């Protein structure tokens, strides 16, 4: 094993919530051990020694990157500047192999027949989203809904310890709640059938364990508050049963939503295959739950340029919008996907080096706790760079007029989180609208008066009123999608407010 080393995480402080696009830059370094395999797979130059050296910033005005891995045999860019050494390209999933819990087609009929004779557990829509997530390996090495020992490790340590002693990140409990009546109907059965909201059998849960669901503890430790108004809590926990049931999943067929978007729902296995097909030697993931504007695109395109400067030949962007449960005032998934497609059509992002896919996880809005889950899942999909913004997975406090989380804590936690050492992280500068150049650009403090920060609220106001944002803020095709969506909301509101006709 090597000596001490630094974890590098791609830190782009762009607020992906509908609020001001504010970027702060900071590199956090923590000691950990890098396996020799990670060094052997570095793609640029042969590694003969690894040292911690003070590195020259990528950006001249940015006093960052104080600690980076450098090789004794160093790579240089076209100007002769020494470049930071880099770790492996497509990294191994947690546990070494992707979990795939979908029953082979040849065994399906027998499993369906068996399930008919088992006690039944009815799933909610969000429960089905978690079945989808676990079945495809996003939570590898987890093989089902958590039993109590896994739940306690996740809740208290944000990680799971495997049989070989290795630790993998698992910051969110993935659990299934049942009520007293369901618990009684299960009795002493060892297996149960899981029914979707429409009553169809979608899975079998094997070797089950039932244990107490302490909601207050779960909420307090996951969100850091028990204040009323937390979206996921109100959707999936408050009215849930007082028991949790864990076990190993056997999913009878691939989860489909039949909403016209299933072709975007690529599994980790399918994504890795696509990365290989495109010859990717690095994958950088960008999660969002809002429309893409040109500031986001600037950051993503600049990331690729910097990876090329570091010696990668074909970095691929995974533009990965969240596709599970979101709060009511978020832009719906179908609208977001249409907007994202226009971004590629308008060549704001290069279709040849960008993969747009849906991440099927529900959204917790649990800040630093949840952002670890978002990063961990992308490791399993093969991404070795992860872009993290200001207040990732955060939201406004549900009761008080303030952010629920410190906006810098998400990226700080990622730099220290157990089990995320595989991720590479790079810093970024502030991006804002340059009123002189009439486009999104990196903020220049020497002419601060020329830059405009356009908040999410302002953007929504533009769309609702039909007013266009400044030229260069968002691609025209993508903007038209948003305007059409908000116009449809206004039309619907008008219909609901119109009084019914009174007959004579």
| Cβ neighbours, 10 Å, residue 132 | 23
63: its two tokens: 């006093």
Q: Residue 428's pLDDT is what?
A: 61
Q: Residue-wise over 154-170: b if at least 16 C-beta within 10 A, else e?
A: bbeebbbbeeeeebbbb
Q: Are 67 and 5 in contact (CB under 8 A)?
A: no
Of how many residues is the chain composed?
A: 504
Query: Which DSSP string corresponds to 90-132?
Result: SPPPTTSS----BPPHHHHHHHHHHHHTS-EEEPPHHHHHHHH
Which of 69-78, 197-206, 283-292 is most confident?
A: 197-206
308: its two tokens: 């090329």
Q: CA 150, 125, 383, 144 torsion: positive or negative?
A: positive
Average pLDDT, the chain: 83
The model carries a pTM of: 0.81
pLDDT digits (tens, 9 = 90+) for 309-330: 999 999 999 999 999 999 999 9
List strand residue ranges (DSSP E) for 240-291, in order: 243-251, 282-288
CA dihedral 459, 404, 325, 385 (to 10 degrees): 80
pLDDT digits (tens, 9 = 90+) for 136-195: 999 999 999 999 999 999 999 999 999 999 999 999 999 999 999 999 999 999 999 999
pLDDT digits (tens, 9 = 90+) for 371-392: 999 999 999 999 999 998 788 8
Backbone angles phi, psi at 440, to 5 degrees: -75, 135
- Strands 144-145, 120-122: pairing kind: unpaired
Angle, to 10 degrees, between the axis of helix 476-497 and the axis of helix 333-345? 150
Mean pLDDT of 93-100: 96
Alpha helices in 415-475 (DSSP H): 456-465
CA separation for the pair 151, 286 (Å, rounded): 28
For 60-82, the three-class secondary structure string (H helix, E strand, C coil) is CCCCCCCCEEEECCCCECCCCCE
DSSP letter (8 states) at residue 137: T
């Amino acid at each position: 094993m090597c000596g001490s080393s630094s974890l590098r995480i791609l830190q782009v402080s762009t607020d992906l919530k509908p609020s001001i696009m504010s970027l702060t830059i900071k590199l956090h370094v923590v000691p950990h051990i890098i396996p020799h395999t990670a060094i052997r797979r570095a793609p640029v130059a042969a590694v003969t020694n690894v040292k911690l050296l003070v590195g020259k910033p990528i950006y001249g005005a940015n006093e960052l990157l104080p600690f980076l891995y450098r090789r004794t045999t160093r790579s240089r860019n076209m100007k002769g500047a020494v470049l930071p050494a880099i770790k492996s390209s497509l990294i191994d999933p947690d546990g070494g192999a992707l979990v795939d819990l979908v029953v082979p087609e040849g065994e399906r009929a027998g499993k369906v027949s068996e399930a008919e004779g088992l006690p039944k557990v009815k799933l909610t829509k969000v429960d089905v989203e978690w079945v989808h997530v676990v079945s495809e390996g996003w939570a590898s090495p987890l093989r089902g809904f958590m039993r109590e020992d896994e739940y306690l490790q996740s809740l208290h340590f944000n990680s799971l310890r495997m049989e070989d002693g290795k630790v993998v990140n698992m910051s969110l409990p993935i659990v299934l709640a049942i009520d007293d009546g369901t618990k009684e109907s299960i009795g002493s059965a060892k297996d149960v059938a899981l029914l979707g909201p429409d009553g169809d059998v979608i899975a079998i849960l094997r070797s089950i364990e039932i244990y107490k669901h302490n909601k207050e503890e779960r909420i307090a430790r996951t969100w850091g508050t028990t204040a009323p108004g937390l979206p996921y809590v109100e959707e999936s926990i408050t009215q849930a049963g007082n028991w949790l049931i864990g076990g190993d999943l056997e999913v009878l067929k691939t989860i489909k939503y039949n909403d016209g978007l299933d072709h975007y729902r690529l599994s980790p296995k399918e994504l890795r295959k696509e990365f290989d097909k495109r010859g990717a030697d690095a994958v950088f993931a960008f999660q969002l739950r809002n429309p893409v504007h040109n500031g986001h695109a600037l950051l993503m395109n600049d990331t690729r340029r910097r990876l090329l400067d570091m010696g990668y030949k074909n970095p691929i962007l995974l533009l990965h919008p969240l596709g599970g449960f979101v709060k009511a005032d978020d832009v719906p998934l179908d609208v977001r996907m249409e907007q994202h497609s226009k971004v590629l059509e308008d060549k704001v992002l290069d279709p040849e080096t960008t993969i747009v896919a849906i991440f099927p996880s529900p959204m917790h809005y649990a800040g630093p706790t949840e952002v670890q889950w978002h990063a961990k899942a992308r490791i399993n999909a093969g991404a070795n760079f992860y872009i993290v913004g200001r207040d990732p997975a955060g939201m406004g406090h549900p009761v008080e007029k303030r952010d629920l989380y410190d906006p810098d804590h998400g990226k700080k936690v990622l730099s220290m989180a157990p089990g995320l050492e595989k991720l590479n992280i790079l810093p970024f500068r502030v991006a804002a609208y340059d009123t002189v150049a009439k486009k999104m650009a990196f903020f220049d403090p020497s002419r601060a008066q020329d830059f405009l920060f356009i908040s999410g609220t302002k953007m929504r106001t533009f769309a609702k009123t039909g007013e266009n944002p400044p030229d260069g803020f968002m691609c025209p095709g993508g903007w038209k999608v948003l305007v059409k969506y908000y116009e449809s909301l206004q039309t619907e509101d008008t219909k609901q407010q119109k009084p019914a006709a009174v007959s004579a």
